[in-house]
C-alpha cells in the first residue's frame, strides 16, 4: 500500500513538472524585432532621410494599444527589441516632436524579425492601416493583403509627400488633423469587411 502511494505520488509529481515546464515554455516564447529608423532632415533642395539616432522605440499591441516593449535607436538608427507576446505590433518611434510609425505582420515568436526601415513611407502606410484596423478582427490579414494595394495607389504617393512635409517640420503626423483625415479617406478605398 505504501509503495503504491509512493509510486502514485511520484507519478503525479512527474506529470505536474512536465505540464508546468510545457506551460512555462509556451509563455516564455519571445521574438526579436529589429530594423532601422530614418527621418527627413535638411533644408530646401538638400533634404534627405538620415538615420534617426537616440530615439525612443515603443512597441504596442495593435489590438489593445498596450506598450509591450521599449528600446531606443543607436547611432546608426538601428533598434532591436524583444517582445514576449506573439501578435501584430505597432512600432512608434519618437524623438522630440517627431513621430515615425511601422506595423509588423503576425509575429509568432522564437526568432528575429527584420522589419526593415521605419521611414516616411512606412509611417504613411501605417496611418492608413491603423484606420483599417478599426474595422477588422484580424489586423494581420489587413497587413498582408491590403498593404500592397495601398502602396500602389496614386493617392498614396501624394499622401506620403504630405506626411514627408509634416515630418520634415519635425512634427507628429499622428496629431495633424489634415493627415489623419487623409488617412481615413485613403482607408475608405479598401473595405475590410
Q: Is residue 70 part of a domain?
A: yes
Q: Is residue 4 part of a domain?
A: no
Report pTM. 0.82
Domain housing 135: 26-187
Q: Which residues of the chain have pLDDT under 70?
A: 1-28, 43-47, 85, 193
Q: Is residue 87 part of a domain?
A: yes
Q: Is residue 193 part of a domain?
A: no
Q: Is residue 49 part of a domain?
A: yes
What is the structure's pLDDT at 17? 44
Number of domains the chain contains: 1
CATH number of the domain that 162 lies in? 2.60.40.10
What is the structure's pLDDT at 86? 74
Q: Is residue 168 part of a domain?
A: yes
What is the structure's pLDDT at 10? 47
Q: Is residue 7 part of a domain?
A: no
User: Got the DSSP string for the chain?
Assistant: -HHHHHHHHHHHHHHHHHHHHHHHHHHT--EEEEEEEEEEE-SGGG-EEEE--S-EEEEEETTT--EEEEEE--TTSEEEEEESS-EEEEEEEEETTEEEEEEEEEE-SSSEEEEEEESHHHHHHHHHHHHHHTT-S-HHHHHHHHHHHHHHSHHHHHHHHHHHHHHHTT--GGG-HHHHHHHHHHHTTS---
Amino acid at each position: 500500500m505504501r509503495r503504491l502511494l509512493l509510486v502514485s505520488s511520484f507519478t503525479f509529481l512527474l506529470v505536474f513538472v512536465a505540464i508546468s515546464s510545457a506551460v512555462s515554455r509556451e509563455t516564455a516564447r519571445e521574438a526579436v524585432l529589429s530594423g532601422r529608423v530614418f527621418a527627413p532632415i535638411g533644408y530646401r533642395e538638400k533634404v534627405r532621410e538620415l538615420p534617426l539616432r537616440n530615439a525612443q522605440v515603443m512597441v504596442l499591441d495593435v489590438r489593445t494599444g498596450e506598450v509591450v516593449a521599449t528600446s531606443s535607436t543607436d547611432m546608426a538608427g538601428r533598434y532591436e527589441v524583444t517582445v514576449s507576446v506573439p501578435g501584430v505590433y505597432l512600432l512608434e518611434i519618437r524623438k522630440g516632436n517627431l513621430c515615425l510609425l511601422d506595423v509588423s505582420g503576425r509575429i509568432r515568436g522564437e526568432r528575429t524579425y527584420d522589419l526593415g526601415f521605419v521611414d516616411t513611407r512606412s509611417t504613411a502606410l501605417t496611418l492608413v492601416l491603423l484606420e483599417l484596423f478599426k474595422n477588422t478582427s484580424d489586423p494581420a490579414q489587413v497587413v498582408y493583403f491590403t498593404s500592397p494595394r495601398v502602396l500602389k495607389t496614386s493617392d498614396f504617393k501624394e499622401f506620403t509627400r504630405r506626411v514627408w512635409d509634416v515630418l520634415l517640420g519635425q512634427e507628429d503626423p499622428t496629431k495633424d488633423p489634415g493627415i489623419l483625415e487623409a488617412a481615413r479617406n485613403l482607408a475608405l478605398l479598401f473595405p475590410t469587411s
